Structure 1
């Protein structure tokens, strides 16, 4: 395989680079249920040992996962599996301290829109209940 400067390969290359292999292995763990939404991803040191990779290679793999929306970072806490299709999951990964890179923003916006739709529906249901109670109470009070 021909590589260009800085270890990059042509776009039509065939063999995945080590950081791509690491990212795909973690995606497969997520798909298979070995890692679930909200679970902490393995540490950089653990991934370096497991794959015999450098810290830069592991960092590139994690950046790829975050870019693609598979992981989120919590400063001072680590990286965690992002919520894919789990809007009812109850933890703090959606809080303001959770970060997603630009590539994962679309998935987070979709999840937030679904949550907003659910909240609006709940408000409408509550408003209907209040109106029913108020109209029922007015009839009884006459």
Structure 2
């Protein structure tokens, strides 16, 4: 693997070509799929495995997974994990050049599933945050009033 410059923060220096960590994770997984290391239907490594492998936070890994889902490379099965999406392609698809070689044929269904999952995850995170805020308010509400 070639050395890749990785930005550790959420902002990319203008015109630098430096990839953010979540982009590196997503591209690494895409390459594993393209090379056959991960095949359609295979489970992707868990979030904790990816966090250790890339030295990344859970949010960074989640952003990489969201990107892969959005682009149709990965689908999630609630309670089971993330899996390589099934694509309708021929064995000579590797002969393609340009964007066609790296763009999966996931179609609208895979993208809708990815967006629905991302929305469900966001709602879950908001509910969790709301619960935390309410808990903090109830603790601080009993003091000094």
Report the TM-score, using the length of structure 1 for normalisation. 0.55
The one-character-per-residue Cα deviations of 1:24-81 (angstroms, maximum 9, x if unpaired) are 0000000000000000000000000101111010000000000110000111111000
How many residue pairs get matched? 89
Structure 2, gaps ≥5 residues long: 1-6, 91-111, 117-145
Matches of 1:86 and 1:24 in 2, distance apart?
Answer: 20
What's the CA shift for 1:100? 2.7
Report the TM-score, using the length of structure 2 for normalisation. 0.54
Matches of 1:19 and 1:57 in 2, distance apart?
Answer: 5
Cα RMSD after superposing both structures: 2.7
Matches of 1:79 and 1:59 in 2, distance apart?
Answer: 11
Matches of 2:37 and 2:10 in 1, distance apart?
Answer: 32
Higher radius of gyration, 1 or 2 = 1
Q: Which residue number corresponds to residue 37 of structure 1?
A: 40
Secondary structure of the corresponding residue to residue 29 of structure 1? helix
Q: Which residue number corresponds to residue 99 of structure 1?
A: 113
Structure 1, gaps ≥5 residues long: 88-97, 103-142
Matches of 1:86 and 1:74 in 2, distance apart?
Answer: 22
Matches of 2:86 and 2:14 in 1, distance apart?
Answer: 30
